[in-house]
Structure 1
Amino acid sequence: MASNKSWSFVAVASSAILMTMLAVTARADGALQYDFYNATCPGVEDLVRAELKAKFAADVTLPAALLRLHFHDCFVRGCDASIMLKSHNGTSEQDADPNSTVRGYEAIEDIKAKIEATCPLIVSCADIMAMAARDAVYFSEGPDYQVETGRRDGNVSILEEALQFLPPSDGNVTVLTQFFAVQNLTMKDMVVLSGAHTLGIAHCPSFSKRLYNFTGAGDVDPTMDPAYAKNLATVCSTPADNVASVQPLDPVSPAKFDTGYYQSIYAHQALLQSDAALLEDSLTGAYVQLMNNATYLDTFFADFAVAMINMGRAGVRTGVDGEIRDTCGVYID
């Protein structure tokens, strides 16, 4: 059970206060800025949103995929679209096991092609990915926050770095905090950004150990709600169930961006061990307990917007560093 200890997380969140928070957290060095493309490619954010609206209508699972794609990109070499790069010999980030179920590449390429037809070699793939993640949240009934832009694309993508820097699905709070700290993200950023799991699914191999062999003795994770664990076992019928079998990360409201993720954790119905771990720490557990109350939805929205902006600054390339490609998924070998 989470303690009552808090980080003074409670806040009154309105659209005006949210924009103030975003302004306060804006970078002082000007490396990224709002409306970066106003003069060079006016209307690009509207174009991205219009394209995504149509794509999301055709594929209701795409918002979660694009949000995850942005996360997995930013945690390896920073937000530089390096995850988009391809390899003929299986050595790029895309080829790493944690990225084996990542998708959404084609949607980013389609949007890039539309932009190139209007503003050739102006808008980076990294910025398109940041806009797409924001719009994925917006079209899932989440907050509509402003994205800093001005990123340039990297041209290096290494499989081993994805293995090294992507947070593990079975990590505890100490481990997760360390992975986020590498990206200059705080523990609060970590517990808030974990809320992105209110969208999307996980494949059986990422949580089957909790059902069949948690301690190595063929047991079930004792922190899981027994009825929930039994239901999961009907989907993942064996410890080695194939990757095609999936479950929603948020069983409360899997297609809506809200606090259902935290409600499921509080009810001991977290799918991943790393999600369940948030309830066991006094600080992250306090946030989970707070967000178990749906009246704090606006607080979560404000916190998430700020945390996404913080993450979007990770390892960015700006100015003359990096490149602007006409295609995001070029081969690097």
Structure 2
Amino acid sequence: MAASLLQSSSLSLLLVVLVAAASTARAQLQYGFYNTTCPGVEDLVRTELLAKFAADVTLPAGLLRLHFHDCFGAGCDATLLLKSHNGTAQRDADPNSTVRGYEAIEAVKATVEAACPLVVSCADIMAMAARDAVNFTQGPAYQVETGRRDGNVSRKEDALRFLPPADGNVTVLTHYFAVQNLTMKDMVVLSAAHTLGVAHCPSFSARLYNYTGAGDQDPSLDADYAKNLTAVCGGPSNVASVQPLDAVSPTTFDLGYYQSVATHRALLGSDAALLNDSLTAAYVQFMTNASSVDTFFADFAVSMINMGRIGVRTGTDGEIRATCQVYVD
């Protein structure tokens, strides 16, 4: 009994320490962190990005995904941007093979460096870029907390271990989000980032050609939609062809994602799975109503802020890199 009480006491103390550490990290993030040290930096980032978005309408989806993959990989510390010379960095992991937007972040960082050398982190620029990508595509305008610092260790294993799988069910997805202190609601809300962008055929080909391992097709797919996907891919190994993640409005940040899921035209297995759980299915159905858009926008802003707190480095932890792809020795 004494040993049991001791273990319980030790566990409680550990939890208190962990919660306190997490609270401290969040407390060190703040709105307007650079108001004194680099005034106007958020406007500078936005202006740079607006020009890039106008030239490439696919970039907003790329930058939103870039921020997500960085935060889930090893915390929101820009280690996804680090290059390796031997294939060991996060960006070299298979789940990151189609991630894009690195050059855009690097270009914005160069502009920021010219104005405020070694002040603004790459991690904060990524958070700002994701926010601006959402707003540019007619999504909500929300504030982001800043004050992150950059990490200098990038491991392929982190991406392989922590990024949610494209074919995960709700139980699996909820676990991956819980590991990052995110809720089931955060999961079903942030999944709607798939209202933008595309996926390569191998990401969903099993649903078309080998759903249960017997050369069959996912019966939950809308028949016409499945026929179109099969025509686009032409086979399970076609890595060149892509399909919009949102079958309704793939370049606009809106409720089209939920409408796609609700009508069995979700591209990825992880998106289709939201209908198989009563709680997530209820949220999906609620968001198919056009009048729910304001609620969705508010929910998305909250969940993005929550995600932006994952594993942050603040204070004296980490560094401020001059270039995002190379850490300071």
Q: SS where residue 74 of structure 2 aligns?
A: coil
Specify the code of the residue in structure 2 equivalent to 1:37: Y
Displacement of 1:106: 0.3
Displacement of 1:76: 1.4
Match for 1:297 among 293, 297, 317? 293
Q: Is the 8 A contact 1:86 1:331 kept in 2?
A: no
Match of 1:233 in 2: 230
Structure 1 consecutive aligned stretches of length 4 or more whose deviation exceeds 4 Å: 26-29
In the alignment, structure 1 residue 137 sits paired with structure 2 residue 115 = no
Displacement of 1:30: 2.0
Greater helix content: 2
Q: In 1, distance between residues paired with 2:148 and 2:320?
A: 9
Match of 2:273 in 1: 277
Q: Note closer, same or farther for the CA distance 1:27–1:209 as it changes in structure 2 (3 Å cut).
A: same
Specify the code of the residue in structure 1 equivalent to 2:325: G
Write out per-residue CA displacement over residues 83-142 of structure 1, whole angstroms, 9 at most, x where no aligned residue. Answer: 000000000000000000001000000000001001000000000000000000000000
In the alignment, structure 1 residue 216 sits paired with structure 2 residue 233 = no
Match of 1:315 in 2: 311
Q: SS where residue 171 of structure 1 aligns?
A: coil
Q: SS where residue 75 of structure 1 aligns?
A: helix
Displacement of 1:267: 0.2
In the alignment, structure 1 residue 158 sits paired with structure 2 residue 167 = no
Specify the code of the residue in structure 1 equivalent to 2:174: T
Q: SS where residue 199 of structure 2 aligns?
A: strand
Write out per-residue CA displacement over residues 232-271 of structure 1, whole angstroms, 9 at most, x where no aligned residue. Answer: 0000111111x21000000100000001000000000000
Q: In 2, distance between residues paired with 1:255 and 1:245?
A: 18
Match of 2:7 in 1: none
Q: In 2, distance between residues paired with 1:165 and 1:270?
A: 23
Q: Is the 8 A contact 1:86 1:332 kept in 2?
A: no
Q: SS where residue 202 of structure 1 aligns?
A: strand
Q: Structure 1: state its 5+ residue gaps.
A: 1-25
In the alignment, structure 1 residue 181 sits paired with structure 2 residue 178 = yes
How much is the aligned-residue C-alpha RMSD, in angstroms? Answer: 1.4
Match for 1:110 among 99, 107, 113? 107
Between 1 and 2, higher relative CO (CA 8 Å, sep ≥ 6) is seen in: 1
Task: Report the TM-score, using the length of structure 1 for normalisation.
Answer: 0.91
Write out per-residue CA displacement over residues 150-206 of structure 1, whole angstroms, 9 at most, x where no aligned residue. Answer: 000000000011100000000000000000011100000000000100000000000
Displacement of 1:331: 6.5
Match of 1:37 in 2: 34
Q: Is the 8 A contact 1:41 1:119 kept in 2?
A: yes
Q: In 2, distance between residues paired with 1:332 and 1:198?
A: 36
In the alignment, structure 1 residue 286 sits paired with structure 2 residue 282 = yes
In the alignment, structure 1 residue 248 sits paired with structure 2 residue 244 = yes
Q: In 2, distance between residues paired with 1:61 and 1:310?
A: 25
State how 1:46-61 maps to structure 2 within 5 Å. Answer: 46-61=43-58
Specify the code of the residue in structure 2 equivalent to 1:285: A
Q: Is the 8 A contact 1:87 1:332 kept in 2?
A: no
Q: Is the 8 A contact 1:87 1:331 kept in 2?
A: no
Q: In 1, distance between residues paired with 2:25 and 2:85?
A: 41
Q: Structure 2: state its 5+ residue gaps.
A: 1-22
Displacement of 1:214: 0.2
Match of 1:84 in 2: 81
Larger radius of gyration: 2
Write out per-residue CA displacement over residues 28-62 of structure 1, whole angstroms, 9 at most, x where no aligned residue. Answer: 96220000000000000000000000000000000
Q: SS where residue 34 of structure 1 aligns?
A: coil
